[in-house]
């Protein structure tokens, strides 16, 4: 069975500093990977996705993620965070195009002034 592990439940970072949110998945086959963002009191919004091709994926709001098959990771990065990036971030995986998406438990990003 697939699973997704988000290694940090909370990440504090100073404004304008870089951030990395870690995500590891378990699957013995090819996967499709997603990052979602949830701003306070809102639903989830797709940030970026990896289906195939280049392992570096660029998303909205300056975020990017790198698919690393050998380490089964899909870490999310941003070179300089803003207060508006305060949100919860969810990593998600599906084994193939017809499977349901499995979500990680989320990482809360706290931006410190």
Partner 1 sequence: DVKVTQSSRYLVKRTGEKVFLECVQDMDHENMFWYRQDPGLGLRLIYFSYDVKMKEKGDIPEGYSVSREKKERFSLILESASTNQTSMYLCASSFPPEGAGGYTFGSGTRLTVV
With contacts defined by CB under 8 A, name the span among 21-29, 43-51, 54-62, 75-83 that binds partner 1: 43-51
**Shortest spacing between CB 104 and partner 1, in angstroms:** 6
> What is the distance between the alpha carbons of residues 106 and 113, in angstroms, rounded to a whole number?
22
Quick check: helix, strand or coil at residue 60?
helix
Of 8, 4, 32, nearest in space to 19 by CA: 8
Quick check: helix, strand or coil at residue 61?
helix
With contacts defined by CB under 8 A, name the span among 13-21, 61-69, 78-86, 104-112 that binds partner 1: 104-112
- Contact set with partner 1 (CB under 8 A): 9, 32, 34, 36, 41-46, 49, 51, 90, 92, 94-101, 103-106
């Amino acid at each position: 069975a697939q699973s997704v592990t988000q290694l940090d439940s909370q990440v504090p970072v100073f404004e304008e500093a870089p951030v990395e949110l870690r995500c590891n998945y378990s699957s013995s086959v090819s996967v499709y990977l997603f990052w979602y963002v949830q701003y306070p009191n809102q639903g989830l919004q797709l940030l970026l996705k990896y289906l195939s091709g280049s392992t570096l994926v660029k998303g909205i709001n300056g975020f990017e993620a790198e698919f690393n098959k050998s380490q089964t990771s899909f870490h999310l990065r941003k070179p300089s965070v803003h207060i508006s990036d305060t949100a919860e971030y969810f990593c998600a995986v599906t084994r193939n195009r017809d499977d349901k998406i499995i979500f990680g438990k989320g990482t809360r990003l706290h931006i410190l002034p």
